[in-house]
Structure 1
């Protein structure tokens, strides 16, 4: 016997409280901090700020720092307050010489990344997501100089397409399709790097002469049908990002994740169904939101949809079709979305983006929404 939901509190979970996105220093923020190798900008931001992506504001009053995203191991950071009580983070030693705008950095010193490189580096340097039209533009692997089906290191490969002599190429294989969850429309296809090769003969498609490349490094076996893509097409992405909200409202959805788990949490890489076509940029911060369950309020009282009887479900479907939330004395209540996490976009393609989950209040799922409102 199903019981009505009368008297039951419909919202049983409170996600993050809605915070005004203003500078809020954490009560336990350190007065000084020495930047260490292995730190990330996000880690340090999280030490000081309740809303870490507002990091640039903490530096906005500091004439010593032109780029708040470039912090180096050995830098000493000090938290101070100006005459108006505004918090400010300053560089204490080893970073200023002769002029307050000049930073002295040791030779070969590398700025700490915004996000953990161990998690995102493969997606910055190797993995790409292309449309079918983009994939078809790149040469296809035909065969090798040996009569084998699986090609490996130190072989010559023949490709259908022109090759630039001495240019470095990635050999890619199609992976999963990234699809809209409802329509199942394919937005992009994951392309997985399986090997690298260098061009040695250009080839001529018009005369039926294949291009030739020499295999230099192999991650997986190479197969006929794999694609040849110049590595400089997608390489050289920075590990530093300007964290910000977009200037216009944006909404999307998580359509895939780097693991195959049903639920996932912080430091997971996810795929969003928005990209360059929607003006998404690297560094954009999104809230992750989950749709609260729909309720049908009928003669027996309010019930969740899954607990409603067949007639009530038919009423719900009918009301949705006609755009009417009240039919035959029953009301369909569409509940709001609630915040369950945050993420930052770090790689953008035409129709999809890769993002790293930076914060969660509960396990996330494919199908959760992402939303960003301008400052």
Structure 2
């Protein structure tokens, strides 16, 4: 299903599922609540995500998949672009939404003009996620890295190298030679932080992406490569690994996990202490817990402990929901997620669980 279908189908089917044309915050059987300030018209802008658009209409933007139904008011709901207008109106006594397709106005003249390519609206800020994954990944800490090779020297005995420089690496004992010589770009990584859960059990080790390289030649167990990209300087002992597959927008459909899970924020790549919206975090749940890309979890902050003024006992106040995250790259025991909503400043140790 094309990425742009998500917003239109969610908006149209959600609105048509409400029995009164007057908006109400009352939750239906599926838990969907419309906002009191939902707009009558919304013009899609460049930089919007389907989450953003849904948030203009719903209190819980991830709820739209539960009400997907084709709406006859939309001729082609498969794609949505900047400039398109979503119009809220009455359809036989029930609210519905129609799509007015935005069109570029082109002045006719005797010369040829190239129209700019319009980018389809994606479910989440994919450019942010892809940029992050170019520089971060996680491997199981208890297993070998399964590296293809490791850097042993730069050209002319350089200790550090950058984009455009040749480097030399030695093939690792466990290397998949076919992957090394396939011609596909290779990632250059450096071991980073080790993640643990709240009980101190290892979850995985983060690798920091330094850049990308391409094979030039091989002589026995020594290979020569050209550094194609470099976010940092390439050093001896940096490792070469195949690049992970890119995120696909159609795989990022936000939805709630089908079973109950509970975990915590265990880290913030880059060493940031406090966490806000669009910050990438690591949580101590992964594929072994049933997490998949697109799974939505709420973030709860632990209630403070206060002294009862009469009994002088310590009383724990209730936990409070302070944000929402979406998982985008799960590993076995740990996942990367992006914070999509934050009402308070979040921190490592905050609890995560499915939304109510």
User: What's the TM-score, normalizing by structure 1?
Assistant: 0.72
Note if 1:38 corresponds to 2:52: no
CA-CA distance at 1:72 after TM superposition: 1.9
Find the counterpart in structure 2 of residue 213 from structure 1.
225
Q: Does structure 1 retain, via aligned residues, the 8 Å contact 2:187–2:212?
A: yes
Find the counterpart in structure 2 of residue 135 from structure 1.
145
Note if 1:25 corresponds to 2:34: yes
User: What's the TM-score, normalizing by structure 2?
Assistant: 0.75
RMSD between aligned residues = 3.2
The alignment covers a number of residue pairs equal to 310
CA-CA distance at 1:337 after TM superposition: 3.0
Alignment of 1:276-355 (within 5 A): 276-293=287-304, 301-304=311-314, 336-355=318-337
CA-CA distance at 1:246 after TM superposition: 0.7
Which of 265, 272, 281 aligns to 1:270? It is 281
After superposition, the C-alpha distances for 1:77-106 in whole angstroms (9 at most, x for unaligned) are 222455473x443323369xxxxxxxxxx9
Whose RCO is larger (CA < 8 A, sep 6+)? 1
Find the counterpart in structure 1 of residue 108 from structure 2.
none
After superposition, the C-alpha distances for 1:278-300 in whole angstroms (9 at most, x for unaligned) are 111111111111222457989x8
CA distance in 2, matches of 1:138, 1:270: 28
Find the counterpart in structure 1 of residue 5 from structure 2.
none
CA distance in 1, matches of 2:218, 2:75: 48
Rg larger for? 1
Distance 1:77 1:266, change over 3 A: same
CA-CA distance at 1:263 after TM superposition: 2.7
Note if 1:52 corresponds to 2:26: no
Find the counterpart in structure 2 of residue 246 from structure 1.
257
Find the counterpart in structure 2 of residue 74 from structure 1.
83
Note if 1:363 corresponds to 2:334: no
Structure 1: gaps of 5 or more residues:
1-16, 96-105, 305-332
What is the SS of the residue equivalent to 2:277? Answer: coil
Alignment of 1:69-108 (within 5 A): 70-83=79-92, 85=94, 87-93=95-101, 108=117
CA distance in 2, matches of 1:71, 1:293: 44
Find the counterpart in structure 2 of residue 174 from structure 1.
191
CA-CA distance at 1:55 after TM superposition: 2.8
Distance 1:294 1:110, change over 3 A: same
Q: Does structure 2 retain, via aligned residues, the 8 Å contact 1:23–1:54?
A: yes
CA-CA distance at 1:335 after TM superposition: 5.7
Distance 1:43 1:220, change over 3 A: same
CA distance in 1, matches of 2:191, 2:140: 11
Q: Does structure 2 retain, via aligned residues, the 8 Å contact 1:61–1:88?
A: no
CA distance in 1, matches of 2:334, 2:145: 15
Q: Does structure 2 retain, via aligned residues, the 8 Å contact 1:165–1:200?
A: no
What is the SS of the residue equivalent to 1:271? Answer: strand
Distance 1:124 1:55, change over 3 A: farther
CA-CA distance at 1:343 after TM superposition: 1.4
CA distance in 2, matches of 1:92, 1:112: 15
CA-CA distance at 1:334 after TM superposition: 6.2
CA distance in 1, matches of 2:75, 2:302: 42
Structure 2: gaps of 5 or more residues:
1-24, 104-114
Note if 1:189 corresponds to 2:205: yes
